[in-house]
Structure formats: structure tokens, C-alpha cells
């Protein structure tokens, strides 16, 4: 035996060389399953999903496309884990206006790490080239720089540090996506998966609303629906896999508007029929969030898309009749399920307490801005200091930051950061409009959907701060990457299907 071990001429037989890796992989799988199951259901579920996806990745024809599709699937599933406090069973968020002051691992971080690994290899070997520095990058870095200047006024250094770290993470992700979005297959794959994910989200929403289903693990901070009492009527607001009803409703704008654009595009009839079904599923889900703000901006976004479709000669009489049929189907579902009555209560009988508290929080933001007009009171610190500037007592009722992203940025980071934020938004919206100058089908889908999404989300954040939520930031990065990378497709024969 010893002579065999030290004999340099001895070789492993071919059957043994095949069996050893199989045994090693099987042993690794067994270890992961055993250890993850002993750590609780959340880790067992993540371990099982991770192993399943690893097996799928080995047979997928393009590992980079697989990683991007995995990213698109993980963004709206906001499973998170506090590395220091190990989370809580039913709620995991104590800080609403940005990143908490402790390291939080999100489900989306795993595909991001995988993409970073692939990206570094591709850049290092010369397989891919870095994207060009654009005006959007300059604006983004300027916004980040002026946000850092609030360090001089803040007393919440940990909150600022973790929020800056989150911005840098997603800026790096933007560059990685721009590196890989260089052909139409990646574009269509990303767009289709964004739309397909609404099927899972709407299924969870319906289970939550009609069967009072609660998730076994918290996502986005909660494990079940939210309940509000309006004139002695209990309104259940679903949260899906995103967490918190307003954030879930804001996320649904992405797949609903994108599916609607695909419906009026020049894609194949089969794809448009599937998009129509997913559009209906998304509409049902967003209705059960009972977010009046999202209902309003969704209606505006759909009208905007129809207007663009008419100008681009994409809307026909048959399409209009089909849309009317879908509207009747959704309305019939609402009537049969008694959801319509709850909608009327939400719209007509709410006494307006939410609007009054928003106004009081606006005044708190104004007071903070008046005290720190140039660089703000400190990025991500509104909740910690708002009681010092509250003259109405609203902070005794609601412990959340001002429900307006523009007021929040002004109060936390000052005038210059707010100006650059608005300039950045206007710039990327203009870039999405420029895409519509092209006549191909992919340009219409990307340009029209991204323009409608950015405009509606910008309007909705006059009454909310969903742009500070992890899933919304991730979805925005996807949309911005599609817009900024579109120039790479000009030299390619774009697939119209």
C-alpha cells in the first residue's frame, strides 16, 4: 500500500477518475442539505434552491445569461438575513428610510456575487470590455459625492456608511449588466423574465388575500398581509414576496407596464397572448394591495403607453376591443370576489388620516431642510432625528420618514444632491425616449416600457419613498442598464420576436 502511494508511475484508472468527482459532489450536496436543515427552514430552503440552481446552471447554454436571469428572478423576492441579529420571525425591518445600521444579506446578493465573479474573469481575460463612461455615470457619482458631504452634519455614521455601501453595490451591478447587455437575446431574456415573475407574485398575492396565507419566512420585513381599519371595515393589503404593500405595488408597475407594452408590440401572437394573461394577473395583484397611489400612476402609465402606441401605429381597433375585453374580465372578477366593495370603501370612505400624516411629515422635512439647506442632516438619518423637528406630534403616531423621495433627499443630503437627483432622472428618461426613434420591435418595447416605468415611478414617489427599497432599486438598475446599453445593439440585426 505504501509503495503504491509513493510510486510516481502509478495512475488512477479511468473509472475511478469518473467516480471520484461524482462521489465528491454527492457528498458536498449531502453536507449542505444536512447542515442547512439543522439551521432552520429558511436555510434549508435556500440550500435546496441553491443546489437546484447549481444543477440547472451546468446544463444552461449560456452561464452569463443564466446569472442575469437568476438576478431578475431574485430581485422581487426580498428574503433577507441580519448577520448580527439573525433576524426575527415575523418582521425584520426596524429602519424604513434606507439600509439599516447592520449588515443585511438579501437573496439578490447571491446572483450579484456570482455575476461579479464572472465579470472579473471576463474583464481580466479580455473576453469582455468595460462599458464607456457616460453622463449618467457622472451624475450618479456626483449625487453620491454630495450625499457623502452630509457626513459633516450627521450623527448616524453607521446608517450613512451602510447606505453608501448599498449605492456602490448597485452602481457596480449597473456596470456589470451594461457589460453583458450587448445582444438582443440578453434583452429579451431579461424582459420576459421580468414579466413572468408577476405570475408567481400574483399567485402569492391571491393566496394571501383569499386564503389568508402567511409566508413561512419574512420577505422584505414581513411574513403576511397588512391590515387597516377604515370606517369599521378591515382592509387586507397583500405584500407578495416583496414585503409591505406600497413597495409591492410599486414593484408591480414594472411587470404590468412591460407586459402591456409587449401586448401592443410586434411580438408573435403566442407571446402577446401570454403577456395579456400576465397583465391581468398583475392587475389583480396590484388591486389587492389597495395602494391608491399605485392605482393612480398605473392608470396614467397605461394611458401614456396607449398614446405612444397610437403615435407609433401599434394600436389597432382589434387591440382596443381586446383591451376592453380584458377590462371587463378584471371588473367581473372584482365583482364576483367582493373586492370591488372594498375598493369603494378604500376610495370613498377613508377619512384621510394618511394624507394628514403625510402633510405633517412634509413639514418635518421642511424644518430639517431649513436647518441644513446645503448638505442635509445626514444620509439615511431622517427617522432618527425627525422628532427634534416635529411641531405637530406626528412622530408619536408614525415612525417612518417623510413619504416623498424628493423631500427626503432634500432633508437628508441638501440642495445640491436633490438637484443632481432630478437631473439624473430627467436625463435617463430622455435617453429612453431616444430609443423610441428606432423602428424595430425591441427598441419599441424597451423604450416605451422604460419611459412609462420611470415616469410613473417618479410621480408615485411624490407620495412615497419606494425608490429607497431594495427590490425597487434593483428593478431600476435593470431598466437603466437596458437603456444605457441600447447603443450596443445598433450594429446588430435585432431580433423582432
Report pLDDT digits (tens) over 179-207. 999 888 999 999 999 999 999 999 999 89
- Of 443, 495, 453, 459, which is closest to residue 478 (Cα–Cα)? 453
Query: Is 0.85 topped by the overall pTM?
Result: yes
Considering only 129-133, 344-348, 425-429, which range has the smallest mean pLDDT? Answer: 344-348
Task: Give the number of other CB atoms < 10 A from CB of residue 26.
Answer: 10
- Of 481, 444, 496, 493, which is closest to residue 183 (Cα–Cα)? 493
pLDDT higher than threshold 70 for residue 493: no
Q: Where are the domains of the chain?
A: 135-489
pLDDT for position 219: 80
Q: Which residue would you say has higher pLDDT here, 144 or 54?
A: 144
Task: Give the number of other CB atoms < 10 A from CB of residue 283.
Answer: 25
Task: Give the number of other CB atoms < 10 A from CB of residue 478.
Answer: 23
Place of cell 438579501: 106
- Of 367, 362, 370, which is closest to residue 394 (Cα–Cα)? 362
Condensed to tens digits (0 to 9), the pLDDT of residues 291-338 reads 888 999 999 999 999 999 988 888 777 777 777 777 787 777 777 767
pLDDT for position 496: 40
Q: What angle do CA 403, 447, 494 make, to 5 degrees?
A: 145
Radius of gyration of the chain (CA): 25
- Of 446, 437, 434, which is closest to residue 194 (Cα–Cα)? 446
Signed CA dihedral, 143, 462, 383, 216: sign only: negative
Condensed to tens digits (0 to 9), the pLDDT of residues 205-225 reads 989 888 888 877 778 777 677
pLDDT for position 494: 43
475 CB contacts (<8 Å, ≥6 apart)? 75, 76, 194, 251, 254
Do the beta carbons of residue 250 and residue 292 sit within 8 Å? no
Condensed to tens digits (0 to 9), the pLDDT of residues 377-424 reads 999 998 888 888 888 777 667 778 888 999 999 999 999 999 999 999
pLDDT higher than threshold 80 for residue 357: no
pLDDT higher than threshold 90 for residue 430: yes
Considering only 49-58, 80-89, 113-122, 419-428, which range has the smallest mean pLDDT? Answer: 80-89
Amino acid at each position: 500500500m505504501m509503495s503504491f502511494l509513493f510510486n510516481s508511475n502509478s495512475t488512477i484508472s479511468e473509472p475511478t477518475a469518473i467516480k471520484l468527482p461524482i462521489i465528491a459532489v454527492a457528498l458536498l450536496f449531502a453536507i449542505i442539505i444536512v447542515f442547512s436543515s439543522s439551521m432552520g427552514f429558511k436555510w434549508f430552503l435556500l440550500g435546496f434552491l441553491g443546489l437546484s440552481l447549481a444543477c440547472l446552471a451546468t446544463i444552461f447554454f449560456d452561464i452569463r445569461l443564466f446569472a442575469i436571469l437568476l438576478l431578475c428572478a431574485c430581485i422581487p423576492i426580498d428574503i433577507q438575513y441580519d448577520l448580527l441579529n439573525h433576524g426575527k420571525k415575523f418582521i425584520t425591518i426596524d429602519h424604513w428610510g434606507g439600509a439599516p445600521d447592520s449588515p443585511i444579506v438579501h437573496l439578490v446578493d447571491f446572483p450579484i456575487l456570482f455575476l461579479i465573479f464572472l465579470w472579473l474573469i471576463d474583464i481580466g481575460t479580455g473576453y469582455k470590455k468595460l462599458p464607456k463612461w457616460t453622463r449618467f455615470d457622472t451624475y450618479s457619482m456626483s449625487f453620491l459625492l454630495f450625499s457623502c458631504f452630509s457626513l459633516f452634519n450627521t450623527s448616524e455614521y453607521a446608517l450613512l456608511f451602510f447606505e453608501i455601501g448599498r449605492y456602490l453595490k448597485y452602481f457596480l451591478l449597473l456596470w456589470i449588466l451594461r457589460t453583458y447587455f450587448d445582444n438582443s437575446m440578453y434583452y429579451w431574456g431579461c424582459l420576459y423574465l421580468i414579466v413572468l415573475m408577476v405570475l408567481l407574485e400574483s399567485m402569492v398575492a391571491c393566496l394571501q388575500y383569499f386564503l389568508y396565507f402567511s409566508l413561512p419566512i419574512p420577505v422584505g420585513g414581513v411574513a403576511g398581509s397588512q391590515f387597516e381599519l377604515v370606517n369599521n371595515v378591515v382592509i387586507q393589503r397583500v405584500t407578495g414576496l416583496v414585503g409591505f404593500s406600497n413597495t409591492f405595488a410599486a414593484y408591480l408597475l414594472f411587470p404590468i407596464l412591460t407586459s402591456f407594452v409587449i401586448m401592443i408590440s410586434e411580438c408573435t401572437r403566442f407571446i402577446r397572448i401570454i403577456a395579456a394573461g400576465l397583465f391581468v394577473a398583475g392587475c389583480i395583484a396590484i388591486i389587492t394591495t389597495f395602494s391608491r397611489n399605485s392605482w393612480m400612476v398605473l392608470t396614467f402609465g397605461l394611458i401614456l403607453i396607449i398614446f405612444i402606441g397610437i403615435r407609433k401605429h401599434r394600436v389597432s381597433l382589434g387591440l382596443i376591443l381586446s383591451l376592453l375585453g380584458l377590462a371587463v374580465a378584471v371588473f367581473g372578477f372584482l365583482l364576483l370576489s367582493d373586492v370591488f366593495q372594498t375598493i369603494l370603501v378604500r376610495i370613498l370612505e377613508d377619512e384621510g388620516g394618511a394624507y394628514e400624516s403625510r402633510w405633517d411629515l412634509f413639514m418635518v422635512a421642511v424644518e430639517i431642510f431649513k436647518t441644513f439647506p446645503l448638505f442635509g442632516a445626514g444620509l439615511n438619518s431622517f427617522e432618527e432625528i425627525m422628532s427634534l423637528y416635529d411641531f405637530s406630534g406626528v412622530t408619536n403616531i408614525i415612525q417612518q420618514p417623510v413619504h416623498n423621495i424628493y423631500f427626503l433627499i432634500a432633508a437628508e443630503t441638501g440642495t445640491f444632491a436633490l438637484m443632481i437627483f432630478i437631473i439624473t432622472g430627467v436625463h435617463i428618461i430622455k435617453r429612453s425616449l431616444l430609443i423610441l426613434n428606432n423602428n424595430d420591435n425591441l427598441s419599441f418595447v424597451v423604450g416605451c416600457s422604460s419611459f412609462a416605468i420611470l415616469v410613473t415611478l417618479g410621480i408615485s414617489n411624490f407620495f412615497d419613498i419606494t425608490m429607497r427599497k431594495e427590490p425597487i432599486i434593483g428593478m431600476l438598475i435593470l431598466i437603466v442598464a437596458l437603456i444605457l446599453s441600447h447603443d450596443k445593439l445598433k450594429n446588430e440585426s435585432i431580433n423582432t420576436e
